[in-house]
Chains A and B, each alone.
Chain A
Amino acid sequence: MNPLAYPVTVSHYLAVGAVLFVAGIICMAVKRNALGVLMGVELVLNGANVNFVAFGSRVLRDESLGLDGHVFALFVIVLAAAEAAVALAIALNYYNNHSTIDVDQADELKG
């Protein structure tokens, strides 16, 4: 069977979403730079986004518009933008206090 002629189904998109999600989690876990962690966050959110758009697809259900999934994806995009704005303030504040944005340096609060 020619793999290039194989029809793309919803599961393929789910696989992409899962890869994005896991890649984002790994990125958040191993990155030490705060902005790198933020990139991981974006990957995770977009993994969920790919899922929403895939589940809203007409391939899966032709009787409804599937608009819910698309609207959800738009909300997630806007959320990601809002969080990027807050993240800048938090990263700057962190830099002003610690002179670095290495999040592994954040280990003073414990007990």
Chain B
Amino acid sequence: MLTDPRTIAWLGPEIVLIAAATGIVVAGAFLRGSAFATMRIIAAVSILAAGAALRVGEANHWMTTETGEWTGPLVCDPLGFLVRHLALFAGLLLTLMLSRGADERDGTETLGLILFLTVGAMIAARANELVLVFLGLELVSIPTYALLYLGRNDRDGSEASAKYFFLSILSSAFFLYGASFLYGIAGTTWITAPEGIASIRDAVSRDPQPFAMLGLALVVAGLGFKLAAVPFHFYAPDVYQGTNHRNAAILAVMPKVAGLAVLIRLVVMGLPGVRNEVWQLALVLSVLTMTVGNVCALWQTDLRRMMAYSSIAHAGYLLIGIAVGAAAVGDPLPYGGVAASVYYLCVYSVATIGLFAALQSLGDGSRRVDSLDHVAGLGVTDPWKAAALAVFLFSLAGIPPLAGFWGKLTLFTTAIGQALRGESSMTPWFLGLALIAVANATIAAAYYLRVVGYLYFRTPPATSADLPSQSGPAGGLAAFLAAFLAAFLVLAIGLHQGPLAEWADRGERGLRALEPPPAAAVRATGPQHADIADRRGSLREPPE
């Protein structure tokens, strides 16, 4: 197997980021002292440069064609394009929200690690090969361990990082063990492939044997941890509470971006042979996850702990789209589950990072904004930041004009659509799913609105002496800028949801173009190991 030269070209943005991250970390070892501000600008510029490389390299391509292009290890399609943009934007916000005071000591390492995990999410977004999927997931996880350690060193911080570390490795091991069975069934690590080349999709479609179920269950367990889906969620509240705002933002977004992309490519599109098991599993996990997350969030007083349960609940919403997408794989009609899920992921990620950035910008170095009481009366004392917080909370709750509302609406309608249109045995399941999701949205509104109530209808504490005098990270202008950017985007998507929805839709259509035609989905022939070199040049699938 020789390296396809185009693979290198398609990795351009990732290469830019890796080079910048390596340079920043190594240069930081030489420049002691006040290199942090400069390095932060370099990191932000390199993220923008990677975004520019991404647009120059691919944007024109997606304007003229909608189908994905199969290149072996990397699949080049609109879904990957969208998710990579999301990862880059999240990376930019995270870079901005580093606090000068707390992160200055290991500032260059922190910046470099954030760039590395952005690259990890970007690789996971379009990996079509088990080794590359694993590499992307680990490139998100390993910098996260180090960031948890760098972010907070006290008693709670060390407990949080130890818990996350051991559970995360266990989940990686589950994923690996499941992936080994998928590899064993197919004899290749490629997830999907054009006609005539062996792939996991073909092998599992041909012979959905018990090993495929075992592999599926283990892989979903591993990815469920990344998404913080019940019953793999129990680490989240402790870890979020025991770390700082920036790490909580990373944990709430980056593993979910990578995990959802892998879930779509490997489980939904890669295992249509066991699609009944996949949608049943996703549906049950979804119902459990959103219910447990929302109900437990109701009585939290620690802000990050509440947001941890909120992120669990949102993982449940994301799984609705996965269930619909898996149930409709191979269906000739458009189904929209994957598109709705990706749309919701974008909306959720921006609002969550923005919320943590706003909380971070509230800290003034002498206190840390941890609990609900700390934000009481903020509408009077700091109206701009309070307004930003309110925008994010309303969006997460799904109040109509904002982005979160459209995300929830799309998800619920696809679930109902699947109930009406799918096989009759699915109807009660998906109707029930939609009903439980709507009920959950109302529960969720309760605790988000409670925080808004604290912001605007409580009197601020009389003096700062009333607050526990913990030394926390100083906020800073950059964190506020990140919050402002995110708030702007939440409002913009809410008022003008067309472009993002269209890209999410294109992502799903691009995935479907990579599917084999329905008649050829189940074949009785044996695996054919064609040489890739022979097929080079004829890989592009004809448009529908």
Whether A and B touch (Cβ < 8 Å) is answered with yes
Interface residues of A (CB under 8 A from B): 10, 17, 21, 24-25, 28, 34, 37-38, 41, 44-45, 47-48, 51-52, 54-56, 60-61, 63-64, 66-69, 71-72, 75-76, 79, 82-83, 86-87, 89-91, 93-94, 96-98, 103, 106, 108-111
Kindly supply a per-residue 1/0 record for chain B positions 154-174, scoring 1 wherever the CB is within 8 Å of any chain A CB and 0 otherwise.
111111111101100110110
Contacting pair A98 B158 (CB below 8 A): yes
Q: Among the listed B142, B176, B300, B301, which residue makes an inter-chain contact with A48, where contact means beta carbons less than 8 Å apart?
A: B176
Take A75-B131, A96-B158, A111-B237 as given contacts and tell me if A86 and B180 are in contact as well, using a CB distance cutoff of 8 Å. Answer: no
Interface size on B, residues (CB 8 A): 47
Q: How far is the CB of B249 from chain A (nearest CB, A)?
A: 18
B160: which A residues are within 8 A, CB to CB?
109
Contacting pair B158 A93 (CB below 8 A): yes
Contacting pair B189 A24 (CB below 8 A): no
Residue of B nearest to A21 (CB): B177
B471 contacts the other chain (CB 8 A): no
Q: Among the listed A34, A52, A61, which residue makes an inter-chain contact with B162, where contact means beta carbons less than 8 Å apart?
A: A34
A63: which B residues are within 8 A, CB to CB?
529
- For the A-B complex, the count of residue pairs with Cβ-Cβ distances under 8 Å equals 138
Roughly how many angstroms separate A21 CA and B157 CA in the complex, as a whole number? 30
Contacting pair B529 A64 (CB below 8 A): yes
B62 contacts the other chain (CB 8 A): no
Q: Among the listed A41, A48, A54, which residue makes an inter-chain contact with B166, where contact means beta carbons less than 8 Å apart?
A: A41
A38: which B residues are within 8 A, CB to CB?
166
Could you give 13 example pairs across A and B, Cβ below 8 Å? A34-B162, A37-B166, A45-B173, A48-B179, A55-B184, A61-B187, A86-B149, A87-B165, A90-B165, A103-B166, A106-B163, A108-B156, A109-B159
Q: Which of B138, B187, B301 has the most CB of A within 10 A?
A: B187
Interface residues of B (CB under 8 A from A): 1, 130-131, 134-135, 138, 142, 145-146, 149, 153-163, 165-166, 169-170, 172-173, 176-177, 179-181, 183-184, 187-189, 237-239, 241-242, 300-302, 305, 529
Q: How far is the CB of B390 from chain A (nearest CB, A)?
A: 25
A10: which B residues are within 8 A, CB to CB?
184
Residue of B nearest to A18 (CB): B177
Contacting pair B158 A110 (CB below 8 A): no
Q: Among the listed B162, B172, B173, B177, which residue makes an inter-chain contact with A90, where contact means beta carbons less than 8 Å apart?
A: B162
Take A64-B187, A111-B300 as given contacts and tell me if A83 and B169 are in contact as well, using a CB distance cutoff of 8 Å. Answer: yes
A47: which B residues are within 8 A, CB to CB?
173, 177
Residue of B nearest to A68 (CB): B189
Take A48-B180, A93-B161, A109-B242 as given contacts and tell me if A41 and B170 are in contact as well, using a CB distance cutoff of 8 Å. Answer: yes
Roughly how many angstroms separate A38 CA and B168 CA in the complex, as a whole number? 12
Q: How far is the CB of B394 from chain A (nearest CB, A)?
A: 25
Roughly how many angstroms separate A43 CA and B130 CA in the complex, as a whole number? 21
Contacting pair A94 B159 (CB below 8 A): yes
Roughly how many angstroms separate A55 CA and B158 CA in the complex, as a whole number? 39
Contacting pair A108 B155 (CB below 8 A): yes
